[in-house]
């Protein structure tokens, strides 16, 4: 699945007639300046848990619909909280139990929501292509945000990962970042790589079992390692990725204990990285497989900060997209 190019994947533009982002489907093609502006606005919305969350009225009068065709907890909840904290009305459609099952096409559902004044549609789907397909067909006032598309793209996750790294480590140019695990099936890794490469990260490394590494044509400019211990040497950031068994055929599913032994991020192994290296994981974690509980809950873990940043990033993306859509409607 993951190693196949995606035939017919629509390259419909995520930009409006003025060149600004109207949808967010992929981080590919965003400039360093655009990424930095999104990170700066995200940082503006970050609050420490315990403080009251940031709030404003950037989305007052707007309606955000969350359409999740795949299960999700943190991403769906963080989009919902982000939209509410910006003053939007929010509807959540659990599409497992909804219209697709009754045979209604996705487009009919979209047009129904559009007719009810939904103006931002947040979508997650297991198949590639749906966000771009829908973006090419909605009314001019509607924006599409990709909240996870097959193994291909998860742009707000890429932004929250970049933000978390920037908060803890500063300038990207000086950093060595390791992405480790099931890279072949990971939309998180693809979006993180797109963000980190564009932001000028000093060195990006990939490590994982041979059959879980992506094709050479993907992730250009990275250094690939078969040996996790060599890959960890001297890195500033370790991003562990989930073993995504739901995207693998039974024959490819690794044995948990063997995987942990060979590629898991353990406290012992983490000593090979820089002493102040941070450890990330997008969640949900398989504790004891790609990461041990000791590391996940340990002093170098920034996994909870990633979750906190996720809400701020989604606020920044929502505010930016809606602002751009407004100015695009005003202009001829
Ligand atoms: C990821 C996802 O669903 O893409 N989770 C998330 O969005 N926080 C990662 C994963 O499922 O492995």
β-partners of residue 280 are 239
| Cα atoms found within 13 Å of the Cα of residue 233, Cβ hemisphere only | 6
Q: What is the pLDDT of residues 277-314, one digit of tens each?
A: 999 999 999 999 999 999 999 999 999 999 999 999 99
| pLDDT (mean) for 115-134 | 94
CA 274–ligand 1 middle distance (angstroms): 26
Name residues whose C-beta falls within 8 Å of residue 246's C-beta, 6 or more positions apart in sequence: none
Q: What was the pLDDT predicted at 13?
A: 87
Cβ–Cβ under 8 Å, residues 187 and 151: yes
Rounded Cα–Cα distance for residues 70 and 242 (Å) = 16
Token output for 45: 């919305």
Q: What is the pLDDT of residues 164-214, one digit of tens each?
A: 999 999 999 999 999 999 999 999 999 999 999 999 999 999 999 999 999
Query: Which one of 73, 75, 77 would you pick to mutate in the ligand 1 pocket, going by the greatest count of ligand atoms within 8 A of its CB?
Result: 75
Rounded Cα–Cα distance for residues 230 and 168 (Å) = 23
Q: What was the pLDDT predicted at 332?
A: 60
CA 165–ligand 1 middle distance (angstroms): 18
Q: Which atom of ligand 1 is nearest to the CA of 157?
A: 7
CA 178–ligand 1 middle distance (angstroms): 18
Q: What is the pLDDT of residues 223-265, one digit of tens each?
A: 999 999 999 999 999 999 999 888 887 777 778 999 999 999 9
Weakest mean pLDDT among 12-16, 60-64, 167-171, 240-244: 12-16
Q: Judge if the upstream peptide bond of residue 36 is cis by omega within 30 degrees of 0.
A: no
Weakest mean pLDDT among 44-48, 92-96, 177-181, 188-192: 92-96
Is the pLDDT at 11 greater than 60, yes or no?
no
Rounded Cα–Cα distance for residues 128 and 26 (Å) = 12
């Amino acid at each position: 699945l993951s190693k196949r190019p995606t035939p017919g994947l629509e390259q419909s533009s995520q930009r409006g007639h003025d060149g600004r982002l109207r949808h967010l489907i992929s981080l590919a093609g965003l400039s360093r300046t655009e990424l930095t502006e999104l990170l700066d606005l995200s940082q503006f919305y970050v609050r420490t848990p315990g403080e009251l969350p940031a709030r404003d009225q950037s989305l007052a009068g707007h309606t955000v619909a969350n359409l999740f065709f795949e299960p999700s907890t943190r991403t769906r909840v963080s989009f919902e909280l982000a939209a509410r904290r910006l003053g939007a009305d929010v509807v959540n459609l659990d599409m497992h139990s909804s219209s697709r099952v009754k045979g209604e096409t996705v487009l009919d559902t979209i047009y129904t929501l559009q007719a009810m004044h939904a103006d931002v549609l947040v979508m997650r789907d297991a198949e590639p292509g749906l966000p771009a397909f829908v973006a090419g067909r909605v009314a001019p006032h509607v924006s599409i945000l990709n909240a996870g598309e097959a193994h291909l793209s998860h742009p707000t996750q890429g932004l929250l990962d970049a933000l978390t790294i920037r908060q803890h480590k500063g300038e990207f140019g000086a950093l060595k970042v390791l992405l480790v695990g099931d890279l072949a099936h990971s939309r998180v890794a693809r979006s993180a790589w797109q963000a980190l490469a564009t932001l000028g990260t000093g060195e990006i490394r990939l490590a994982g079992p041979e059959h879980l590494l992506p094709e050479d044509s993907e992730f250009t400019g990275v250094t690939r390692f078969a040996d996790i211990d060599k890959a960890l040497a001297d890195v500033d950031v370790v991003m562990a990725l989930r073993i995504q068994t739901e995207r693998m055929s039974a024959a490819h599913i690794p044995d948990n204990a063997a995987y942990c032994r060979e590629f898991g991020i353990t406290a012992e192994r983490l000593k090979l990285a820089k002493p102040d290296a941070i450890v990330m994981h997008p969640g949900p974690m398989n504790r004891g497989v790609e990461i041990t509980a000791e590391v996940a809950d340990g002093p170098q873990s920034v996994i909870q900060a990633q979750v906190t940043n996720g809400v701020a990033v989604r606020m920044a993306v929502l505010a930016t997209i809606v602002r751009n859509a407004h100015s695009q409607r005003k202009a001829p």
